[in-house]
A and B are shown apart, each in its own frame.
Chain A
Amino acid sequence: MGKVAMDGAVTRRQLLAMIGTCAGSAAMYQAMSSLGFAADSSFKGPTPLGAAPQGASVLILGAGIAGMVAAYELRKAGYRVQVLEYNARAGGRNWTLRGGDRYVELGGAAQECRFDPGLYINPGPWRLSHHHRGMLHYCKVLGVALEPFIQTNYQAYIHNSKAFGGAPQRYRTVKADYHGHVAELLAKATRAKALDEAVSTEDQQRLLQSLQEWGALDSNYRYVKGLNTSEVRGYEVSPGGGLSARPVYSEPVQLSEVVSSGLWQGMLLAENYDMQMTMFQPVGGMGMVGQAFARELGPLIRYNAKVIDIAQDERGVSVTFEDTSQSMSRQTAHADWCVCTIPLSILGQIPMKVGTPMADAIAAVPYAASAKVGLQFKRRFWEEDEQIYGGITYTDLPISNIAYPNYGFFSSGKGVLLGGYLFGLDAAEFTAMSPQERIAKAVEYGSRIHPQYNAEFENGISVAWHRSPFTLGCFGMWTEEARSKHYDNLCAIDGRIVLAGEHASYMPAWQEGALTSAVDAIGRLHRRALAQGASS
């Protein structure tokens, strides 16, 4: 019993075995303490593979970021490359929905995107870190223009429906008040000699000075209404010129409310390594990256190809697929090697000739739920009425985010918001709704933060990732335990097949994870190909 399913997902056979012997003695799961999610990109610049063996060929499954990076580099090295893609477009989760696009989710619900020209949402990834060097490199190489993605906007809101009477609070005041009160408390403790054991007398003076400046404290180390605090948290009436602009200081929120409101949580994200400014987004939508790769690779990509069998022997790889555009006509592609980037949620259902270690690894990773909703409004009221230019509002409501467009500032026309970005139970519940219900719910929740929603809303579109026909989920959830048992087996070359994708990385859900996994995989594959000599 103790041998089965030490990781997250289990197979049917294992479940049956467990029932048979009565679950009782299996080892408990370890709480995970670290997932390696904050790992830096391993991409340190383009590293040419060198020349391919004469005539060698590689079949790549999936034209997402991983697959297309692999195709691009392998072709450059001289391999004969073919890519099979399930969708009628390239990019995979790298995807932008614009006016005129049509999306049919699993279950058959069809949506027509009715956004005005130039407006869009990214249902999947939507930002690039400045240290995601691989993505930035390929954007540059492919001519994909980047612009700032505003992760932190001090004028946007942090909102708790159960605090401040449900009124959203400006990020600016939440941050100032939180820092101010923490500084005051620490100064108080220092001056009361509570830190004498931990901090030398000299350092205490330096610490006090830093707390005073960092926390906007007054000369008595208090966080109180006045010039200092208004200079960080903003004014009741802001200063201006002439006779009509005498400033009025604002009143800080008291400590107990700052703490109990929980609003400080809304500031944590931007402190995360992968979310620290500067962040970028492609001009025109994240999908511009996938489109650029597709242009570059051209006829190498075969679209509408649904892989149904992956076989290999000592001489090569044979992949059978159905052409979904031609009444499922069945064909087989052959190559010396295979880079498979199909999400594990799907790959686990495809008959595949690999050894038990890789097969077990493929079966060990459940997929997370997530949903996004894009909403078009008649005017950019967040800018016109509230002076919010880009960035994100965080809320405890199920929508969790309202993200404002980081482009088209001050334009007088319509605007599209990301009206919801959901995880967990909220995402599961949104997934279980029809697209129209999701949009209606996003409007209902969002109107509690922006009452303008009710008058200005025009149309929307929603993507729930478990309903996505090409991924059946958002991203692979590795527990530390599953990773320790299966990750290396997932990434290791099995015969002539190697896997790549965000699921084969320590950066789940990030495109940089997919990209670096592909670079790593093709490097190893190339070395093996060289070791084996020319094409068989």
Chain B
Amino acid sequence: MTGAVRLRKRAPLAALAAVLALAAGGARPDTTVGVVGIFGAGHLASTSGEVIYQQICQGCHMPDGRGASGAGHYPALAGDRALLSAQFMALTLIEGRRNMPAFGGKSQEGFSYIVPTLDDEQIAAVTNYVRTHFGNQFKGTINAADVKALRRPH
């Protein structure tokens, strides 16, 4: 658990109400002073692919990368042929896919306060990590500039 949560933009008030519906709290506005907030949308400080995986991804894809199955399932990343394309994985992180939230930050403006965001370097790092761990041995790497190029213009 890192304590270093860099806070992001202020949530729109109406959007704030959304989360308030569920949780009991307020937003965590961007600020340099210590501010009480209830939601840590937040931005992970680490640029280690391993750390990012362990602090976010494994919540669903599990510590061993094998996913899980209940009424629905989380896909295994171990041995996932879709990871042949580093771009595919990076873009999935940026944009989200179906029930998986977008971690790219900008593509879900209204929810930037409840979905943690990863920057280009972090997305590259965790992509490279997953493609070379859990038994995966996919060739090639991706860097922050490659990830940036995948982002849709704003």
Contacts and interface: CB of A to CB of B under 8 A. Distances in A.
A398 B1 contact: yes
B1 A265 contact: no
Q: DSSP class of A's interface residues: helix, strand, loop or mixed?
A: loop
Interface in B15-29: 15-29
The CB with the most chain A CB atoms within 10 A, among B57, B60, B106, is that of B60
Nearest to A362: B98
Contacts of B92: 15
A470 B36 contact: no
B88 A15 contact: yes
A206 interface: no
Given A15-B92, A26-B152, A86-B71, A8 B102 contact: yes
A396 B5 CA distance: 11
A29 B107 contact: yes
B17 A107 contact: no
B63 to A, nearest CB: 8
Given A23-B91, A161-B34, A28 B153 contact: yes
Contacts, number: 302
Contact of A423 (B2, B38, B72, B110): B38
B15 to A, nearest CB: 6
For chain A, give the interface size range.
Answer: 35 or more
Contacts of B91: 15, 18-19, 23
Interface of A: 5, 8-12, 15-16, 18-19, 22-26, 28-38, 86, 106-108, 151, 158-163, 260-263, 265-266, 268-269, 272-275, 306-307, 342, 344-346, 348-350, 363, 365-370, 392, 394-396, 398, 400-401, 403, 421-426, 428-429, 431-433, 441, 464, 466-475, 477, 479-480, 507-510
A262 B44 contact: no
Interface in B37-65: 37-44, 54-60, 62-63
Given A425-B41, A425-B43, A366 B21 contact: no
The CB with the most chain B CB atoms within 10 A, among A15, A262, A266, A274, is that of A15
A395 B25 CA distance: 9
B99 A262 contact: no
Interface string B60-81: 1011000011111110000000
B116 A263 contact: no
A38 B98 CA distance: 25
14 contacts: A19-B91, A32-B12, A35-B14, A265-B38, A272-B20, A366-B98, A368-B114, A370-B23, A400-B24, A422-B23, A424-B115, A429-B59, A470-B70, A509-B22
Contacts of B39: 400, 423-424, 426
A489 to B, nearest CB: 16
A106 B70 contact: yes
Given A37-B21, A477-B111, A432 B54 contact: yes
Contact of B37 (A18, A262, A272, A392): A262
B54 to A, nearest CB: 6
